Amino acid sequence: MAAIDAATAPGDGLACFNRMYLGVTREVDSELGQGFFADPAFMTALDVAFANLYFTAAGAAGDPAAVPLAWRPLIEQRAAAGIEPIQFALAGMNAHINHDLPLAVVSTCTELATAPAAGAHLADYQKVDQLLDAAEQSVRQSFESAPELAV
């Protein structure tokens, strides 16, 4: 994500989502070693699988037919004028959460021979919502105070 951030212009629609996602991912990563999650190995594997789906979508930007359908609106319109940065960020969240997350959960559970409701997986998964809630205010403020450089 840091490489995508460095390689994209501030007004690029993908950059708008990437900056937000990078911040949330850093929060999750910082909690992985702090005892916040009951099963950090599962959460690490889920985090990696989830991020890799985003990297696949972003990496396919040069080949529109290879971009997953859920990501196409953001990727195809990422340079369009008249679209607010927060709209790009929300489009990325929609694609990543509604498309990529279920795939990441299934692949992680398959890889680790477990199930989504086994052990502390569900509770840990729900803890990410706490991190998202905490990040929401700063993300909102960044879009309101400097929309062209948000998040």
DSSP notation for 15-79: HHHHHHHHHHHHHHHHHHTTT-SS-HHHHHHHHHHHHHHHHHHHHTTTSGGGS-GGGHHHHHHTT
Whole-model pTM: value is: 0.88
Residue pLDDT, tens place only, 43-61: 999 999 999 999 999 999 9
How much is the pLDDT for 98?
Answer: 94
pLDDT band at 149 (very low <50, low <70, confident <90, very high): low
The pLDDT of residue 141 is above 60: yes
Mean pLDDT (the chain) is: 91
The pLDDT of residue 13 is above 70: yes
How much is the pLDDT for 147?
Answer: 56
d(CA 102, CA 122): 13
